Structure 1
Protein backbone atom coordinates (compact mmCIF):
# COMPACT_ATOMS: atom_id res chain seq x y z
CA UNK A 1 0.00 0.00 0.00
CA UNK A 2 1.51 3.29 -1.10
CA UNK A 3 0.66 6.61 0.47
CA UNK A 4 -0.13 9.32 -2.06
CA UNK A 5 1.95 12.40 -1.29
CA UNK A 6 0.95 15.88 -2.42
CA UNK A 7 3.14 17.71 -4.96
CA UNK A 8 5.88 19.92 -3.55
CA UNK A 9 7.64 23.02 -4.84
CA UNK A 10 10.90 21.18 -5.57
CA UNK A 11 9.54 17.68 -6.19
CA UNK A 12 10.81 14.26 -5.27
CA UNK A 13 12.88 11.62 -7.02
CA UNK A 14 11.43 9.24 -9.56
CA UNK A 15 13.33 6.20 -8.34
CA UNK A 16 13.37 4.21 -5.12
CA UNK A 17 10.51 4.98 -2.76
CA UNK A 18 9.93 8.38 -4.36
CA UNK A 19 10.01 10.10 -0.98
CA UNK A 20 13.49 11.58 -1.25
CA UNK A 21 13.48 15.29 -2.14
CA UNK A 22 15.09 15.80 -5.54
CA UNK A 23 17.26 18.63 -4.24
CA UNK A 24 18.72 16.32 -1.57
CA UNK A 25 20.35 14.42 -4.42
CA UNK A 26 20.88 17.28 -6.87
CA UNK A 27 22.81 19.61 -4.56
CA UNK A 28 25.55 17.19 -3.42
CA UNK A 29 26.00 15.76 -6.92
CA UNK A 30 26.03 19.25 -8.44
CA UNK A 31 28.76 20.27 -6.00
CA UNK A 32 30.75 17.18 -6.99
CA UNK A 33 30.33 18.09 -10.66
CA UNK A 34 31.64 21.59 -9.91
CA UNK A 35 34.64 20.19 -8.03
CA UNK A 36 35.36 17.73 -10.84
CA UNK A 37 35.19 20.55 -13.40
CA UNK A 38 37.58 22.63 -11.32
CA UNK A 39 40.00 19.73 -11.04
CA UNK A 40 39.84 19.10 -14.78
CA UNK A 41 40.56 22.77 -15.42
CA UNK A 42 43.67 22.59 -13.25
CA UNK A 43 44.85 19.26 -14.71
CA UNK A 44 44.49 20.44 -18.32
CA UNK A 45 46.04 23.85 -17.63
CA UNK A 46 42.92 25.86 -18.38
CA UNK A 47 42.82 27.31 -14.86
CA UNK A 48 45.51 29.87 -15.64
CA UNK A 49 48.62 31.00 -13.78
CA UNK A 50 47.02 30.65 -10.34
CA UNK A 51 45.59 27.13 -10.14
CA UNK A 52 43.74 27.70 -6.85
CA UNK A 53 41.87 30.71 -8.20
CA UNK A 54 41.14 28.87 -11.44
CA UNK A 55 39.91 25.80 -9.55
CA UNK A 56 37.61 27.88 -7.35
CA UNK A 57 36.28 29.84 -10.33
CA UNK A 58 35.53 26.77 -12.41
CA UNK A 59 34.03 24.94 -9.43
CA UNK A 60 31.81 27.90 -8.55
CA UNK A 61 30.59 28.46 -12.10
CA UNK A 62 29.95 24.76 -12.79
CA UNK A 63 28.17 23.92 -9.54
CA UNK A 64 24.80 25.54 -10.30
CA UNK A 65 24.50 24.13 -13.83
CA UNK A 66 25.51 20.76 -12.36
CA UNK A 67 22.73 21.01 -9.77
CA UNK A 68 20.23 21.94 -12.50
CA UNK A 69 21.19 19.00 -14.71
CA UNK A 70 21.07 16.48 -11.88
CA UNK A 71 17.73 17.91 -10.70
CA UNK A 72 16.27 17.60 -14.20
CA UNK A 73 17.39 13.97 -14.37
CA UNK A 74 16.18 12.81 -10.95
CA UNK A 75 12.96 14.79 -10.37
CA UNK A 76 9.58 13.22 -11.00
CA UNK A 77 7.43 15.79 -12.82
CA UNK A 78 4.30 14.46 -11.20
CA UNK A 79 5.60 15.49 -7.77
CA UNK A 80 6.20 19.12 -8.81
CA UNK A 81 3.57 21.64 -7.79
CA UNK A 82 2.13 23.42 -10.84
CA UNK A 83 3.95 21.30 -13.45
CA UNK A 84 2.17 20.73 -16.74
CA UNK A 85 1.12 17.09 -17.01
CA UNK A 86 1.87 16.63 -20.73
CA UNK A 87 4.21 19.42 -21.90
CA UNK A 88 4.74 17.76 -25.29
CA UNK A 89 1.07 18.24 -26.15
CA UNK A 90 1.26 22.04 -26.01
CA UNK A 91 0.87 24.38 -28.95
CA UNK A 92 4.34 25.77 -28.31
CA UNK A 93 5.84 22.28 -28.57
CA UNK A 94 4.21 21.89 -31.98
CA UNK A 95 5.61 25.24 -33.11
CA UNK A 96 9.07 24.21 -31.94
CA UNK A 97 8.87 20.84 -33.71
CA UNK A 98 7.80 22.48 -36.97
CA UNK A 99 10.48 25.19 -36.65
CA UNK A 100 13.30 22.71 -36.09
CA UNK A 101 12.06 20.50 -38.90
CA UNK A 102 12.17 23.48 -41.27
CA UNK A 103 15.61 24.45 -39.98
CA UNK A 104 16.91 20.99 -40.85
CA UNK A 105 15.84 21.51 -44.44
CA UNK A 106 17.37 25.00 -44.48
CA UNK A 107 20.70 23.59 -43.32
CA UNK A 108 20.64 20.86 -45.97
CA UNK A 109 20.07 23.45 -48.71
CA UNK A 110 22.68 25.91 -47.39
CA UNK A 111 25.34 23.24 -46.91
CA UNK A 112 24.59 21.74 -50.33
CA UNK A 113 24.89 25.08 -52.11
CA UNK A 114 28.02 25.97 -50.12
CA UNK A 115 29.63 22.63 -50.99
CA UNK A 116 28.84 23.20 -54.66
CA UNK A 117 30.36 26.69 -54.60
CA UNK A 118 33.47 25.51 -52.73
CA UNK A 119 33.97 22.72 -55.29
CA UNK A 120 34.57 25.31 -58.02
CA UNK A 121 36.80 27.66 -56.03
CA UNK A 122 40.55 27.38 -56.74
CA UNK A 123 42.53 24.99 -54.51
CA UNK A 124 44.57 27.75 -52.83
CA UNK A 125 41.41 29.04 -51.10
CA UNK A 126 41.40 27.89 -47.47
CA UNK A 127 38.33 27.58 -45.28
CA UNK A 128 38.87 27.61 -41.52
CA UNK A 129 36.53 25.15 -39.81
CA UNK A 130 36.85 27.14 -36.59
CA UNK A 131 34.80 29.81 -38.35
CA UNK A 132 32.56 27.67 -40.54
CA UNK A 133 31.12 25.41 -37.85
CA UNK A 134 30.08 28.28 -35.54
CA UNK A 135 28.54 29.96 -38.58
CA UNK A 136 26.46 26.85 -39.28
CA UNK A 137 25.41 26.77 -35.63
CA UNK A 138 24.44 30.44 -35.75
CA UNK A 139 22.44 29.76 -38.92
CA UNK A 140 20.57 27.01 -37.06
CA UNK A 141 19.75 29.36 -34.18
CA UNK A 142 18.60 32.16 -36.48
CA UNK A 143 16.55 29.89 -38.72
CA UNK A 144 14.83 28.17 -35.80
CA UNK A 145 14.16 31.47 -34.05
CA UNK A 146 12.64 33.14 -37.11
CA UNK A 147 10.53 30.10 -37.97
CA UNK A 148 9.30 29.78 -34.37
CA UNK A 149 8.35 33.47 -34.21
CA UNK A 150 6.51 33.26 -37.53
CA UNK A 151 4.60 30.16 -36.42
CA UNK A 152 3.74 31.82 -33.12
CA UNK A 153 2.49 34.88 -34.92
CA UNK A 154 0.27 32.79 -37.18
CA UNK A 155 -1.14 31.09 -34.09
Structure 2
Protein backbone atom coordinates (compact mmCIF):
# COMPACT_ATOMS: atom_id res chain seq x y z
CA UNK A 1 0.00 0.00 0.00
CA UNK A 2 1.45 3.34 -0.97
CA UNK A 3 1.92 6.22 1.43
CA UNK A 4 -0.66 8.51 -0.20
CA UNK A 5 -3.50 6.00 0.23
CA UNK A 6 -5.46 6.54 3.40
CA UNK A 7 -7.25 3.95 5.42
CA UNK A 8 -10.86 4.57 6.32
CA UNK A 9 -13.32 3.03 8.72
CA UNK A 10 -15.36 1.37 5.94
CA UNK A 11 -12.68 0.87 3.29
CA UNK A 12 -12.66 0.95 -0.48
CA UNK A 13 -13.27 -1.53 -3.26
CA UNK A 14 -10.54 -1.95 -5.85
CA UNK A 15 -11.47 -1.82 -9.54
CA UNK A 16 -8.43 -1.93 -11.78
CA UNK A 17 -6.36 1.05 -10.69
CA UNK A 18 -9.29 3.02 -9.23
CA UNK A 19 -10.95 2.83 -5.85
CA UNK A 20 -14.62 3.23 -4.94
CA UNK A 21 -16.05 3.35 -1.41
CA UNK A 22 -17.08 -0.22 -0.58
CA UNK A 23 -20.45 0.87 0.79
CA UNK A 24 -21.26 2.57 -2.53
CA UNK A 25 -21.26 -0.90 -4.08
CA UNK A 26 -22.51 -2.98 -1.16
CA UNK A 27 -25.71 -1.08 -0.33
CA UNK A 28 -27.18 -0.89 -3.85
CA UNK A 29 -26.00 -4.45 -4.52
CA UNK A 30 -27.69 -5.64 -1.32
CA UNK A 31 -30.92 -3.88 -2.25
CA UNK A 32 -30.83 -5.47 -5.71
CA UNK A 33 -30.20 -8.93 -4.23
CA UNK A 34 -33.03 -8.37 -1.74
CA UNK A 35 -35.38 -7.44 -4.57
CA UNK A 36 -34.25 -10.51 -6.51
CA UNK A 37 -35.00 -12.63 -3.44
CA UNK A 38 -38.47 -11.11 -3.21
CA UNK A 39 -39.10 -11.83 -6.87
CA UNK A 40 -37.84 -15.38 -6.41
CA UNK A 41 -40.24 -15.77 -3.46
CA UNK A 42 -43.15 -14.74 -5.68
CA UNK A 43 -42.10 -17.09 -8.47
CA UNK A 44 -41.62 -19.99 -6.05
CA UNK A 45 -44.98 -19.36 -4.38
CA UNK A 46 -43.41 -18.62 -0.99
CA UNK A 47 -44.86 -15.10 -0.89
CA UNK A 48 -48.33 -16.40 -0.11
CA UNK A 49 -51.66 -15.43 -1.62
CA UNK A 50 -50.78 -11.71 -1.60
CA UNK A 51 -47.64 -11.43 -3.72
CA UNK A 52 -46.92 -7.69 -3.30
CA UNK A 53 -46.64 -7.69 0.52
CA UNK A 54 -44.82 -11.03 0.29
CA UNK A 55 -42.32 -9.47 -2.12
CA UNK A 56 -41.67 -6.58 0.25
CA UNK A 57 -41.29 -8.82 3.29
CA UNK A 58 -38.74 -11.00 1.53
CA UNK A 59 -36.94 -8.03 -0.04
CA UNK A 60 -36.63 -6.16 3.26
CA UNK A 61 -35.53 -9.23 5.21
CA UNK A 62 -32.90 -10.18 2.60
CA UNK A 63 -31.53 -6.72 1.81
CA UNK A 64 -29.37 -6.21 4.91
CA UNK A 65 -27.70 -9.66 4.93
CA UNK A 66 -27.14 -9.33 1.18
CA UNK A 67 -25.55 -5.89 1.64
CA UNK A 68 -23.24 -7.26 4.32
CA UNK A 69 -22.29 -10.16 2.06
CA UNK A 70 -21.62 -7.77 -0.82
CA UNK A 71 -19.48 -5.60 1.46
CA UNK A 72 -17.42 -8.58 2.59
CA UNK A 73 -16.87 -9.59 -1.02
CA UNK A 74 -15.84 -6.19 -2.41
CA UNK A 75 -13.93 -4.47 0.41
CA UNK A 76 -10.14 -4.32 0.14
CA UNK A 77 -8.67 -5.18 3.54
CA UNK A 78 -5.66 -2.95 2.91
CA UNK A 79 -7.93 0.13 2.99
CA UNK A 80 -9.58 -0.65 6.35
CA UNK A 81 -8.49 1.33 9.37
CA UNK A 82 -7.01 -1.00 12.01
CA UNK A 83 -6.92 -4.12 9.84
CA UNK A 84 -4.05 -6.47 10.50
CA UNK A 85 -1.41 -6.81 7.79
CA UNK A 86 -1.34 -10.62 7.92
CA UNK A 87 -4.31 -11.94 9.93
CA UNK A 88 -3.40 -15.56 9.20
CA UNK A 89 -0.19 -15.24 11.22
CA UNK A 90 -1.99 -14.86 14.55
CA UNK A 91 -1.90 -17.27 17.47
CA UNK A 92 -5.66 -17.77 17.20
CA UNK A 93 -5.29 -18.80 13.57
CA UNK A 94 -2.79 -21.47 14.65
CA UNK A 95 -5.21 -22.76 17.27
CA UNK A 96 -7.99 -22.85 14.67
CA UNK A 97 -5.85 -24.77 12.17
CA UNK A 98 -4.77 -27.35 14.75
CA UNK A 99 -8.31 -27.80 16.07
CA UNK A 100 -9.72 -28.18 12.54
CA UNK A 101 -7.08 -30.76 11.61
CA UNK A 102 -7.69 -32.73 14.80
CA UNK A 103 -11.46 -32.69 14.45
CA UNK A 104 -11.15 -33.89 10.85
CA UNK A 105 -9.06 -36.80 12.10
CA UNK A 106 -11.74 -37.54 14.70
CA UNK A 107 -14.41 -37.43 12.01
CA UNK A 108 -12.54 -39.88 9.76
CA UNK A 109 -11.98 -42.22 12.73
CA UNK A 110 -15.62 -42.17 13.88
CA UNK A 111 -17.03 -42.57 10.36
CA UNK A 112 -14.63 -45.45 9.68
CA UNK A 113 -15.69 -47.25 12.84
CA UNK A 114 -19.37 -46.58 12.11
CA UNK A 115 -19.01 -47.89 8.54
CA UNK A 116 -17.31 -51.04 9.81
CA UNK A 117 -19.98 -51.66 12.45
CA UNK A 118 -22.81 -51.02 9.96
CA UNK A 119 -21.24 -53.49 7.52
CA UNK A 120 -21.72 -56.32 10.02
CA UNK A 121 -25.21 -55.38 11.22
CA UNK A 122 -28.06 -57.31 9.58
CA UNK A 123 -29.74 -55.56 6.65
CA UNK A 124 -33.09 -55.24 8.42
CA UNK A 125 -31.56 -52.85 10.99
CA UNK A 126 -32.92 -49.38 10.17
CA UNK A 127 -30.50 -46.46 10.15
CA UNK A 128 -32.35 -43.16 9.98
CA UNK A 129 -30.11 -40.68 8.16
CA UNK A 130 -32.23 -37.80 9.44
CA UNK A 131 -30.81 -38.59 12.88
CA UNK A 132 -27.40 -40.00 11.97
CA UNK A 133 -26.13 -37.09 9.86
CA UNK A 134 -27.01 -34.37 12.39
CA UNK A 135 -25.36 -36.53 15.06
CA UNK A 136 -22.18 -36.56 12.96
CA UNK A 137 -22.42 -32.78 12.59
CA UNK A 138 -22.83 -32.31 16.35
CA UNK A 139 -19.84 -34.59 16.89
CA UNK A 140 -17.77 -32.42 14.53
CA UNK A 141 -18.81 -29.23 16.33
CA UNK A 142 -18.04 -30.73 19.73
CA UNK A 143 -14.67 -32.11 18.64
CA UNK A 144 -13.59 -28.80 17.13
CA UNK A 145 -14.87 -26.75 20.09
CA UNK A 146 -13.19 -28.91 22.70
CA UNK A 147 -9.90 -28.98 20.81
CA UNK A 148 -9.95 -25.21 20.30
CA UNK A 149 -10.64 -24.50 23.97
CA UNK A 150 -7.88 -26.89 25.09
CA UNK A 151 -5.38 -25.31 22.69
CA UNK A 152 -6.37 -21.82 23.81
CA UNK A 153 -5.92 -22.71 27.48
CA UNK A 154 -2.50 -24.23 26.81
CA UNK A 155 -1.51 -21.01 25.10
TM range (shorter): 0.7 to 0.9
Per-residue CA deviation, residues 83-132 of structure 1 (Å, 9 max, x unaligned), is: 11110000000000000001110110111111112222222223233333
Q: Distance in 2 between matches of 1:55 and 1:127?
A: 41
Q: Which residue of 1 aligns with 2:103?
A: 103
Aligned 8 A contact 1:47 1:55 in 2 = yes
After TM superposition, give the deviation of residue 137 of structure 1 in Å: 2.0
- Counterparts in 2 of 1:120 and 1:50: CA distance versus 1, 3 Å: farther
Q: Which residue of 2 aligns with 1:34?
A: 34
SS of equivalent to 1:107 = helix
Q: Distance in 1 between matches of 2:134 and 2:9?
A: 38
Count of residue correspondences: 154
Give the structure with the larger strand fraction: 2
Give the TM-score normalised by the residue count of structure 2.
0.88
Consecutive unaligned residues of structure 2, counting only runs of 5 or more, are none
Consecutive unaligned residues of structure 1, counting only runs of 5 or more, are none
SS of equivalent to 2:82 = coil
1:1-155 matches, within 5 Å, as 4-155=4-155
